[in-house]
């Protein structure tokens, strides 16, 4: 008997099956051969919320949640945050290797060129109500971008697909800045001709050249958000893309998934929570409410990190540096007190709840002058290269087909239709 295998006895029939184990997984489809009787469909794996299901093989991002490790294409996040730039990381995620200087120069100038504003998207953005949430606007305008390029549905042309993916990475910064400017009642600006990616974004947001230190802090934030393997929004991008939907429709769906407060929306929810707690003295009472299950401690906990989220550690350092430029936000004290108490309290320690990327990112965004409702848009801008790289990998993965989970049906069956007058 092979050692890398699992022996299963189906006690309904007494039959024994040997399932191969590859990369620490067994194939769910191998259970289908286990049938209670001839007419049985076969055994399936039940996994609501995919807590223990591997949906793909990927060489984009390595994450070890127990050890607190995050690597893009094998490079530790700490080194990338210290030495790289967001555009270089985007290249790395998409092409799978670090660029040479000339490749990077060309990539940067292409991204800047592809930031050229699409007039029709300016109009669409301007037609939203002024109080529309910018995430909703960006989700819609990313989908609308696809309608301007119907050829983007031609997946057989790798070079063209890559061009659309690249344009999307460039355009999301423009569309994000426009969503903000529209809400602020200000004219929508075009990208400057000569700037870095974060610099161009900040200039489109605020209409002036940013402080290089602020630009670098934003660059780091975008690097930290660039990919995070098979999370809720990335899985959504892959599921939608598996139907052969183009990159715009797929990423637009990912933006919808990121919108929710349990995912990317948590950074906004953290700031709202800190503002509600107001002062350090109110923290113990708030923690008690969390333990009584009246509240969630937003920015804490993670499906895969059962240790420090390495991104949170890097952001915390960046917060200190940015506050030296901008002055300290009094809510930092509230956040630090929450973290201190939670890391000592058995409720959080026992459940392995640590600060995640969103716990401090909101404070940093606020220090950069970015308003709360834009936080999740910032996350989406940063995550776009990751979504695109994952979409691209999925399209080239011969093992993938249209995604289609199964269900256990628990409803009624074989009812007789009752005429409306007789109900
Ligand atoms: N505050 C209080 N209790 C929590 C929290 C929290 N933030 N997170 C988890 N718990 C508790 C759960 O109630 C559960 O307790 P129980 O076992 O006694 O019932 C236990 O910890 C385990 O949590 P799960 O809900 O099983 O964890 P899951 O993996 O399903 O959820 C999630 C992960 C959604 C991130 C959760 O921790 C959460 O809601 N956190 C707050 C929102 C947040 O910060 N989201 C951002 C995540 S990072 C990102 O998406 C970029």
Instruction: For 173-212, write each residue's pLDDT tens digit.
Output: 999 999 999 999 999 999 999 999 999 999 999 999 999 9
Look at residue 402 and tell me whether its pLDDT is greater than 90: yes
Domain for residue 234, yes or no?
yes
- Out of 331, 347, 367, pick the residue that ends a domain: 367
- Are 277 and 242 in a shared domain? no
Structural domains counted in the chain: 3
CB neighbours of 204 closer than 8 A, spacing ≥ 6?
A: 173, 174, 177, 178, 181, 189, 190, 191, 192
Domain for residue 67, yes or no?
no
- Residue 167: count other Cβ atoms within 10 Å of its Cβ: 23
Domain for residue 197, yes or no?
yes
CA 413 to CA 393: how far, in whole Å?
A: 41
Is 158 assigned a catalytic role? no
Is 302 assigned a catalytic role? yes
CATH number at residue 156: 1.10.580.10
Range of the domain at 361: 266-367
Tell me the DSSP string of 40-62: --------GGGTT------SSEE
Q: Please compute Rg for the chain using Cα positions.
A: 24
- Are 47 and 109 in a shared domain? no
Look at residue 2 and tell me whether its pLDDT is greater than 70: no
Look at residue 317 and tell me whether its pLDDT is greater than 80: yes
Within 197-312, strands assigned E span: none
Signed CA dihedral, 256, 261, 262, 267: sign only: positive
Does 27 contact ligand 1 (Cβ within 6 A)?
no
Does 357 contact ligand 1 (Cβ within 6 A)?
yes
Nearest residue by C-alpha to atom 18 in ligand 1? 351
CA 250 to CA 388: how far, in whole Å?
A: 9
Domain for residue 361, yes or no?
yes
Residue 352 CA, ligand 1 centroid: distance in Å: 10
Helix axes 357-367, 212-225, angle to 10 degrees: 160
- On average, the pLDDT of the chain sits at 95
* Predicted confidence band of residue 394 (pLDDT cuts 50, 70, 90): very high
Say which of 133, 248, 302, 309 is annotated catalytic.
302
Q: Average pLDDT for residues 14-40, to the nearest whole number? A: 97
Q: Which atom of ligand 1 is nearest to the CA of 301?
A: 37
Region of 163 on the Ramachandran plot (φ > 0 left; ψ -120 to 50 alpha; else beta): alpha
CA 219 to CA 215: how far, in whole Å?
A: 6
Does 302 contact ligand 1 (Cβ within 6 A)?
yes
Domain for residue 64, yes or no?
no
Does 268 contact ligand 1 (Cβ within 6 A)?
no
Residue 90 CA, ligand 1 centroid: distance in Å: 29
Say which of 133, 228, 263, 309 is annotated catalytic.
263
Look at residue 155 and tell me whether its pLDDT is greater than 90: no
Query: What is the per-residue pLDDT for 388?
Result: 97
Tokens of 416: 């007789």
Q: Is 363 exposed, middle or buried (0-12, 13-18, 19+ CB in 10 A)?
A: buried
Is 248 assigned a catalytic role? no
Q: Phi and psi (nearest 5°) for 408?
A: -105, 115
Instruction: Please give the model's pTM, rounded to 2 decimal places.
Output: 0.93
Tokens of 177: 């800045």
- Are 275 and 350 in a shared domain? yes
- Are 212 and 114 in a shared domain? yes
Look at residue 237 and tell me whether its pLDDT is greater than 80: yes
Cβ 382 vs Cβ 369: under 8 Å: no
- Are 252 and 270 in a shared domain? no
Nearest residue by C-alpha to atom 27 in ligand 1? 303
- Are 223 and 349 in a shared domain? no
Residue 274 CA, ligand 1 centroid: distance in Å: 18
Cβ 273 vs Cβ 298: under 8 Å: yes
- Residue 32: count other Cβ atoms within 10 Å of its Cβ: 14
Residue 207 CA, ligand 1 centroid: distance in Å: 39
Cβ 79 vs Cβ 50: under 8 Å: no
Residue 262 CA, ligand 1 centroid: distance in Å: 8
Signed CA dihedral, 158, 54, 169, 184: sign only: positive
346-365 confidence digits (pLDDT tens)? 999 999 999 999 899 988 99
Query: What is the per-residue pLDDT for 1?
Result: 64
- Are 357 and 382 in a shared domain? no
CA 381 to CA 175: how far, in whole Å?
A: 9
CA 399 to CA 242: how far, in whole Å?
A: 11
- Are 115 and 133 in a shared domain? yes
Region of 18 on the Ramachandran plot (φ > 0 left; ψ -120 to 50 alpha; else beta): beta
* Predicted confidence band of residue 152 (pLDDT cuts 50, 70, 90): confident
- Are 218 and 328 in a shared domain? no
Cβ 354 vs Cβ 343: under 8 Å: yes
Query: What is the per-residue pLDDT for 265?
Result: 87
- Are 238 and 92 in a shared domain? yes
CA 258 to CA 17: how far, in whole Å?
A: 41
Query: What is the per-residue pLDDT for 165?
Result: 92
Domain for residue 409, yes or no?
no
Signed CA dihedral, 232, 238, 239, 241: sign only: positive
């Amino acid at each position: 008997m092979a050692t890398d295998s699992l022996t299963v006895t189906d006690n309904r029939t007494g039959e024994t099956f040997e399932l191969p184990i590859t990369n620490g997984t067994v194939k769910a489809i191998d259970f289908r051969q286990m049938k209670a009787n001839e007419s049985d469909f076969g055994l399936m794996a039940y996994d609501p919320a995919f807590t223990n299901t591997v949906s793909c093989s990927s060489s984009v991002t390595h994450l070890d949640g127990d050890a607190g490790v995050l690597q893009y294409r094998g490079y530790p996040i700490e080194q990338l945050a210290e030495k790289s730039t967001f555009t270089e990381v985007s290249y790395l995620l998409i092409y799978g290797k670090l660029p040479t200087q000339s490749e990077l120069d060309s990539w940067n100038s292409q991204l800047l060129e592809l930031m050229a504003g699409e007039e029709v998207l300016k109009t669409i953005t301007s037609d939203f109500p002024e109080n529309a949430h910018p995430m909703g606007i960006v989700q819609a305008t990313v989908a609308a971008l696809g309608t301007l390029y119907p050829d983007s549905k031609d997946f057989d042309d790798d070079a063209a697909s890559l061009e659309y993916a690249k344009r999307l990475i460039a355009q999301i910064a423009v569309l994000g800045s426009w969503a903000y400017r529209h809400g602020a009642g200000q004219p929508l600006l075009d990208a400057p001709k000569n700037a870095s990616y974060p610099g161009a974004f900040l200039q489109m947001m605020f209409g002036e050249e940013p402080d290089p230190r602020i630009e670098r802090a934003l660059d780091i934030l975008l690097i930290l958000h660039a990919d995070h393997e098979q999370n809720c929004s990335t899985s959504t991008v892959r599921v939608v893309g598996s139907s052969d939907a183009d990159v715009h429709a797929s990423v637009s769906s990912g933006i919808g998934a990121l919108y929710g407060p349990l995912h990317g929306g948590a950074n906004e929810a953290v700031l709202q929570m800190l503002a509600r707690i107001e002062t350090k003295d109110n923290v113990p009472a708030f923690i008690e409410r969390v333990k009584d299950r009246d509240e969630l401690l937003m920015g804490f906990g993670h499906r895969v990190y059962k240790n420090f989220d390495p991104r949170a550690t890097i952001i915390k350092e960046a917060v200190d540096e940015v506050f030296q430029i901008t002055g300290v936000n009094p809510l930092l004290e509230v956040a630090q007190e929450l973290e201190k108490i939670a890391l000592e309290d058995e409720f959080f320690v026992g459940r392995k709840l640590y600060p995640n990327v969103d716990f401090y990112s909101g404070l940093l965004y606020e220090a950069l002058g970015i308003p709360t409702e834009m936080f999740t848009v910032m996350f989406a801008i940063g995550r776009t290269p990751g979504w695109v790289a994952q979409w691209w990998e999925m399209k080239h993965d011969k093992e993938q087909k249209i995604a289609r989970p199964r269900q256990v049906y628990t409803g009624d069956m074989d009812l007789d239709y009752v005429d409306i007058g007789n109900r």
